[in-house]
A and B are shown apart, each in its own frame.
Chain A
Amino acid sequence: MSSTNVTIAAGPRSQPEPFEIHVEAAVLSDLHVRLRETRWGDVADDDGWKLGTNPGYLRDLVTYWAHQYDWSVQEAALNRVPQFTAAVDRARLHFVHAKDGAPRLPLLLLHGWPDSFYRFHKVIPRLRETFEVVVPSLPGFGFTGPVRRSSPEQQNRQSAQLLWRLMTEVLGHRRFAVAGGDGGSALAQLLAIDHPESVVGIHLTDLGWHVANADRSKVSKVERKYLEAGEKRFMADGAYVMVQSTRPQSLAPALNDSPVALAAWIVDRFHSWSDAFEDAFPKDELLTNIMIYWVTQTIGPSMESYRAEVVSPSLSVADHVDVPVGLALFPNDIGGIPPRAFAERTLNVQRWTEMPRGGHFAAWEEPELYAGDVTSFFQAVGGSWGAI
């Protein structure tokens, strides 16, 4: 198992400390100067989304950001759920921890890129009725921020280990559930592979980035078609991955210096990977997610997982998740719904739900569908956890 090859940091940890988001006025006034002074480029012939982020939409969004969006309202809403930070090794992890009354199965919810812990804000109220909910800002992201690594090896596996230590050593859980999508899917799989003794099961909305490397000659025709469609899609819409995994340092300075740059880069992904983009993501919600990157200056560190997976991969198609896996597949996620047989090559699939609508940010776009599926899955596989 590849996990034995990587030095897993086991440095000190601390008890959780309550945390509230509070962005300094100077950061907000600086942002307003930048927004007001946005230097707009010429609009080319295409006023849609064919050449990337729609220039007209972007202008509306920045205007809204500068004149109507109210961070203080959003900040107060974010602070309505209890948040903490805890030191684990060299990281100081930020996390939402929503725990009501009697002991319940702990559920670790893992976001991806370019979202944040905010991905789950609509499902936390529903899920906390059944679970003890833990939503971290992933290493490199948001209020966790950049994490100094003890080694360049398998950094995403190191991140998974930090999360495992958060759940076990800091929060004291022997067994817990994990759910996630995008980068969160990969981390959930790494947790399941490295700590099957701790992980009751994992619930995913996608198979993880690594399955694109599956050997075409060893799969069925249907699977091959799926992989080829994915490759075609990557050539048309995957350039952000190429940039982030090979030359992130050439991109990050613009995104960290210019709010319109950051918004354009992030919004393009939300548009590409959702059903009805403007209905699914009102401007307030999109901007709050973007603000989490802006005020923490984490767009650079958030891209590190892409390059890390090229320099020293953590997950490969040879890996297999043995703990029970639930999959909720949303039709407008990247590449659409995969063939079940393909998922079963790497995952112990126990639940398979093809959703009628929704995209990549399912927990955010279709909170009812998402929360319902997560709850049903863990009620089936994690039902006896209380006896543990």
Chain B
Amino acid sequence: MSVQPFQVSVPDSVLVDLRQRLARTRLPPAEEDAGWEAGTSPAFLRRLVQHWQTGFDWRAEEAAINRFSHFRASIRGLEIHFIHERGRGDAPLPLVLTHGYPDSFLRFTKLIPLLTDPAAYGGDAADSFDVVVPSLPGFGFSTHPGREGATFEVGDIWHELMTKELGYQRFGAHGGDWGSTVTEHLARSHGHSLVGAHHTDVPFWHTFQKPDDASPAEQAHFARTEKFMHEEGAYAMIQGTRPQTLAQGLMDSPAGLAAWLVEKFQTLSDCGGDVETRFTMDELLTNVMVYWASGTIGSSFRPYHDFTQAGAMRWIVEKAKEWIGASKVPTGFAVFPKDSSRTPREWAERFYNVQRFTEMPRGGHFAAFEEPQLLAEELRAFFRPLRPGAR
């Protein structure tokens, strides 16, 4: 047992240094009317950096973050940061929620209270969860081993966290983006411990296993994925192939880091083009701060490298091959219309024992943040029949 209480506490020296960097920000000359088509809008970035300097209050955000119960656990030589919030109800179901890139554990902060205390938000206390939200290794306040292939161990680490460290025998899992991969890993490798697995997407790497008998909907899904990679996938390609070429610069420039990260919140959310309809500047900056303060932008690129380089193919071939065909673990999907993936049901059924598949009315890639109420209701409904003693 290695769990220790943890608080997010960024040293003053980091904030002083950041203030100096922001004050000397040198934004590139840009056409005033340039929008988001070629990346983060220069006008928006200018306002964001301005707000970072004059309106944003990290200490207030930090205090709000610390209202959750944070811990760190030493697992396999890593320090894994996580939020652990107990549910209010007779029999809360343990549930691990896994984020992706370029978000962080913050992805779930709006969802957590809806899951731990449903009765306080118009739900039923019988639907409550014990919620665990870890930071992926190398993201935010979790460390990274600094070697290739670490991504392929996250499911095992989560299992250790939930069982050995936190003492849960059986639990549920939910995730999107990299969190979807981790959730699948848990279901495949530790199915006996898993009550159910819930995703917002089928991990993209399953498209490396294209079947000969793809349905029209699946073919359209592959075409969409390919179009996305072609038009918007440059970040994944550079992060996968030349991460160091970019990461050191983003370590050094807060405005540069913000520009690189914020683009995705505009393109992948259900914001109708105006990112501020979904995320306030404070919310965007707090997420950027998790990367900045922890200095983890470089390690956050590692999953892309793991998946594009030889190690991933080996992993997929050796490990995931045995995963083809539905896993036994009951699986649910909530597919949000503005997510980059939008998997069709039959594609999900090739890899999972799909018990629930819901096409959501609105929301995007960051569903837990954009539509916490909708996602909370989905999670309650999916796990309700899977709870111990349920019929």
Contact = CB atoms under 8 A, between A and B. Distances in A.
B246 A253 contact: no
B170 to A, nearest CB: 36
B265 to A, nearest CB: 11
Q: Most chain-B CB neighbours within 10 Å: which of A260, A261, A265, A307?
A: A261
Contacts of A258: 249, 252-253, 256
A38 B21 CA distance: 10
Contacts of B234: 239, 242-243, 245-247
B258 to A, nearest CB: 8
B256 A261 contact: yes
Which DSSP category, helix, strand, loop or mixed, fits chain B's interface?
helix
Contacts of A255: 28, 249, 256
Size bracket of the B interface: 35 or more
Interface string B172-184: 0000000000000
Contact of B242 (A39, A52, A249, A301): A52
A247 B39 contact: yes
A33 to B, nearest CB: 7
A186 interface: no
A258 B231 CA distance: 27
Q: Most chain-A CB neighbours within 10 Å: which of B30, B39, B243, B299?
A: B39
Interface in B223-244: 231-235, 237-238, 240-244
A146 B28 CA distance: 11
A135 interface: no
B39 A261 contact: no
Nearest to A41: B251
B248 interface: yes
B39 A265 contact: no
B256 A240 contact: no
Contacts of B233: 242
Interface string B208-228: 000000000000000000000
Which DSSP category, helix, strand, loop or mixed, fits chain A's interface?
helix
A40 B250 CA distance: 10
Interface stretch (B40-48, B330-338, B343-351, B359-367): B40-48
A300 interface: yes
A251 B245 contact: no
Contacts of A30: 24
Contact of A42 (B34, B146, B235, B242): B146
A369 interface: no
Interface string B254-286: 011111100100000000000000000000000
Size bracket of the A interface: 35 or more
Q: Most chain-B CB neighbours within 10 Å: which of A41, A54, A146, A257?
A: A257
A237 interface: yes
A37 B254 CA distance: 13
Contact of B257 (A40, A254, A264): A254
A268 B242 contact: yes
Contact of B249 (A235, A248, A254): A254
Contact of A52 (B24, B29, B246, B256): B246
A248 B38 contact: yes
B369 to A, nearest CB: 20
B31 to A, nearest CB: 8
A44 B27 CA distance: 29
A39 B18 CA distance: 10
Contact of A299 (B21, B28, B40, B258): B28
A346 interface: no
Interface in A160-180: none
A266 to B, nearest CB: 9
B67 interface: no
B25 to A, nearest CB: 6
Contacts of B297: 41
29 contacts: A30-B24, A33-B24, A37-B20, A39-B252, A42-B298, A44-B146, A51-B243, A51-B244, A52-B241, A52-B245, A52-B246, A53-B248, A55-B248, A239-B237, A239-B241, A239-B242, A240-B238, A240-B245, A249-B38, A250-B260, A253-B255, A253-B259, A254-B249, A254-B252, A254-B259, A260-B249, A264-B244, A264-B245, A301-B28
Give the 7 A-B CB pairs with smallest separation, nearest first: A261-B249, A254-B256, A249-B39, A52-B245, A250-B39, A52-B244, A242-B234
Given A250-B259, A261-B246, 6 more contacts: A44-B147, A52-B241, A237-B241, A238-B237, A250-B235, A255-B28
